[in-house]
């Protein structure tokens, strides 16, 4: 076994595909798990029945380890958890909430539990809660993000000496070189979101996938910090948000502007102007839409090549 994480999940490569609303259904998760990584269904955008359907399809598509990512901020969490237990999902990644709430219960039922954090305070809380591993996600990540704006390059070295359990780096990683960088910082694995948005199997709308390929550095922004900070690709909706800030919008104004269903509209229905487009800064380095297993094979090949060519000092 190569790292603590490949051992923990019994997977070939230390690559986790991050759970992403509207982009990571059973097809993507199955492709990633089949290719030797750990695929996660993103439950955040799924009603309980839909989640069950995805889990059942995923189990038919692969015998390898898979998981579900469960943001704890949605109202139907308890129903989701019941389905996860009924369907014997082996791994759950929780995020956006208190790790103490569900970890012990899930673990008592044989589920491996990982929690996503963005700072050292919550990392220590996770250890107390008894999680099996931690995802530490930096400021450059797409979608929901931390308040402290700590980047992956500084977050991982801060957490590494503080915790003994396995540590997964997330945010800004989309290539074998970046994976090598994360492992150099002390991570035991990487969690990758944006790169998998632009995969054949991702359930993102083709308009959104193609838009990701066009992104340049500086084309994303961490916004809506008064609600939940979220990194978005610049578009007309984000301009409207910026205009609202310019006019000194308060929290209520922002909630009204955001409304309901913005994320679905953008990422799943392909409305690039009025939808919410969640993607990380690493989008500036994504230039093609390829199958998930090719993404993983490319990453491993790049990792090996870069490691061989590191300067000897």
Sheet hosting strand 133-137, strand order edge to edge: 15-17, 189-192, 167-170, 133-137, 112-117, 91-95, 66-71, 39-42
Nearer to a copy of itself, 247 or 260 (CB): 247
Nearer to a copy of itself, 153 or 210 (CB): 153
Q: Minimal distance in Å, beta carbon 5 to a copy of itself?
A: 10
> Tokens 């809660």 label which residue?
129
Nearer to a copy of itself, 67 or 171 (CB): 171
Q: Is 151 helix (H, G, I), strand (E, B) or coil?
A: coil
Q: Minimal distance in Å, beta carbon 136 to a copy of itself?
A: 10
Q: Residue 62 CB: number of other CB atoms within 10 A?
A: 17
Q: Minimal distance in Å, beta carbon 145 to a copy of itself?
A: 12
Nearer to a copy of itself, 292 or 296 (CB): 296
Nearer to a copy of itself, 2 or 60 (CB): 2
Q: How far is it, in rounded angstroms, from Cα 262 to Cα 61? A: 31
Q: Minimal distance in Å, beta carbon 119 to a copy of itself?
A: 6
Contacting residues for 177 by C-beta, under 8 A, at least 6 apart: 302, 303, 306
CA atoms within 13 A on the CB side of 55: 25
Nearer to a copy of itself, 199 or 283 (CB): 283
Q: Minimal distance in Å, beta carbon 167 to a copy of itself?
A: 13
Q: How far is it, in rounded angstroms, from Cα 146 to Cα 126? A: 16
Q: Minimal distance in Å, beta carbon 172 to a copy of itself?
A: 4
Question: Which residues form the interface with a copy of itself (CB under 8 A)?
Answer: 2-3, 13-14, 119-120, 138-140, 147-155, 157-158, 171-175, 177-178, 180-186, 216-218, 221-222, 248, 280-282, 284-285, 300, 303-304, 306-307, 310-313
Say if CB 48 and CB 80 are below 8 A apart. yes
Q: Minimal distance in Å, beta carbon 265 to a copy of itself?
A: 25
Give the orientation angle of helix 251-258 with respect to helix 236-246, to 10 degrees: 160
Which two tokens mark 90? 């082996």
Backbone phi and psi for residue 204, each to the nearest 5 degrees, phi listed first: -60, 150
Nearer to a copy of itself, 105 or 147 (CB): 147
């Amino acid at each position: 076994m190569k790292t603590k994480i490949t051992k923990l999940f019994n997977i070939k490569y230390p690559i986790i595909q991050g759970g992403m609303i509207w982009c990571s259904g059973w097809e993507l998760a199955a492709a990633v798990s089949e290719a030797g990584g750990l695929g996660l269904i993103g439950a955040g955008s799924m009603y309980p029945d839909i989640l069950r359907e995805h889990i059942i399809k995923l189990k038919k598509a692969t015998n390898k380890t898979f998981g579900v990512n469960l943001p704890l901020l949605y109202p139907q969490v308890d129903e989701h958890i019941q389905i996860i237990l009924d369907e014997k999902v082996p791994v759950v990644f929780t995020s956006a909430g208190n790790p103490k709430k569900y970890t012990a219960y899930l673990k008592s039922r044989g589920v491996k539990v990982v929690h996503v954090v963005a700072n050292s305070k919550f990392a220590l809380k996770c250890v107390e809660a008894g999680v099996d591993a931690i995802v530490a996600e930096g400021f450059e990540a797409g979608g929901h993000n931390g308040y402290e704006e700590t980047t992956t390059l500084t977050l991982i070295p801060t957490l590494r000496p503080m915790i003994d359990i396995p540590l997964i780096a997330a945010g800004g990683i989309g290539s074998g070189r970046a994976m090598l960088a994360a492992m150099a910082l002390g991570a035991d694995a990487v969690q990758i979101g944006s790169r998998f948005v632009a995969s054949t199997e991702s359930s993102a709308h083709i308009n959104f996938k193609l838009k990701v390929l066009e992104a340049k550095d500086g084309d994303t922004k961490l916004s809506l910090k008064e609600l939940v900070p979220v990194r978005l690709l610049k578009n007309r909706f984000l301009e409207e948000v910026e205009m609202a800030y310019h006019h000194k919008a308060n929290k209520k104004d922002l909630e009204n502007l955001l409304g309901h269903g913005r994320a679905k509209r953008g990422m799943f229905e392909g409305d690039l102007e009025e939808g919410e487009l969640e993607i990380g800064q690493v989008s500036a380095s994504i230039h093609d839409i390829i199958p998930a297993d090719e993404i993983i094979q490319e990453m491993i090949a790049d990792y090996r090549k870069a490691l061989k060519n590191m300067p000897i000092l």
